[in-house]
Amino acid sequence: MRIATWNVNSVKARLGNVTEWLDSAKPDVVLFQEIKCETAAFPLQAFQDLGYHCAVVGQKAYNGVALLSREEPTDIITRLPGEPEDEQARYVEATVGGIRIASLYLPNGNPVGTEKYPYKLRWMDRLKAHASSLLAQEVPFVLGGDYNVIPEARDVYDPAAWITDALFRPETRAKFREITHLGLVEAFRAVHPDAERAFTFWDYQAGAWPRDNGLRIDHFLLSPQAADRLVGCAIDKGPRGQEKASDHTPVVLELAV
């Protein structure tokens, strides 16, 4: 099973790029973040024409996530538990092929001195609690998406420049470690423990892409049962180099069936 995660930074603006990549890469499951459209405005037909069923949680102009799969997803949930008043479209989860799979878009958290950073940390606490609940069920699961977390110094082109940013603050990284220390496996690092300058995001500003000034903020966290099936995890930089590209590029996870 090949599972891809990709922050597409507006699915309608990047539709040609996205469908071209899907037609070529042919993942079994696709996790989108930042679709930036309401659920009803999602370009459903374009993805159905490629053979995908779609579970979409949209929001006007901001956020939005989707889970696409060749097999029809079941038992879909459209909100991360723990804060019922939170209406931001950041989470969708379903069962595909006997695996619970989630597409998540963790809050950015900047500027740190505003309510956005406490919201980010609360969201991470909720994700930890939900992961604990899934672990207790002893089912294989995959939590994939844009975590807006730089786990280590080698995951950013200039660590010193990012130390006060919400993505790299010590509190953020500590929360991320709390989640992984539940017993989850961060797939890319499990497969590529020594990789350097392995980035998934390059800003549109300051020549970040041609200079390879990137961040690794898109991750897959696997339960022990899913990690036992881990075959590979790779960053596909190709889409980032195209015209009208998203500022993120796909990450592809491969699990044995």
The CATH number linked to 232 is: 3.60.10.10
Report if residue 21 sits inside a domain: yes
**110 annotated binding-site participant:** no
Domains: count for the chain: 1
248 labeled binding residue: yes
Q: Which amino acid is at 219?
A: H
Q: Residue 32: what pLDDT?
A: 99
Q: In sequence order, which residues have a C-beta less than 8 Å from that of residue 173 and are 6 or more positions away?
A: 149, 150, 151, 152
Q: Would 19 be classed as within a structural domain? A: yes
197 lies in which domain range? 2-252
DSSP state of 194: T
Residues of the chain with pLDDT under 70: none
Distance CA 192, CA 178 (A): 21
Q: What is the pLDDT at residue 181?
A: 98
pLDDT of 14 reads 98
Q: Is 257 part of a structural domain of the chain?
A: no
> What integer pLDDT is reported at residue 257 of this predicted model?
87
Which residues, in sequence order, are CB contacts of 192 under 8 Å at separation 6+? 198, 233
Residues near 137 by beta carbon (within 8 Å), at least 6 away in sequence? none
pTM, entire model: 0.98
Residue 247 forms part of a structural domain: yes
Annotated catalytic residues are 105, 146, 248
Question: Binding residue per annotation — 53?
Answer: no
Q: Which residues of 125-156 are buried (b: 16+ CB within 10 A; e: fewer)?
A: ebbbebbeebbeeeebbbbbbbbbbbbeeebb
201 located within any domain: yes
- Which tokens hold the place of 241? 């180099």
Annotated binding residue at 148? yes
Structure tokens at 88: 């931001």
pLDDT at position 93: 98
Q: Give me Rg for the CA atoms of the chain.
A: 17
How many Å apart are CA 197 and CA 29, to the nearest integer?
Answer: 26
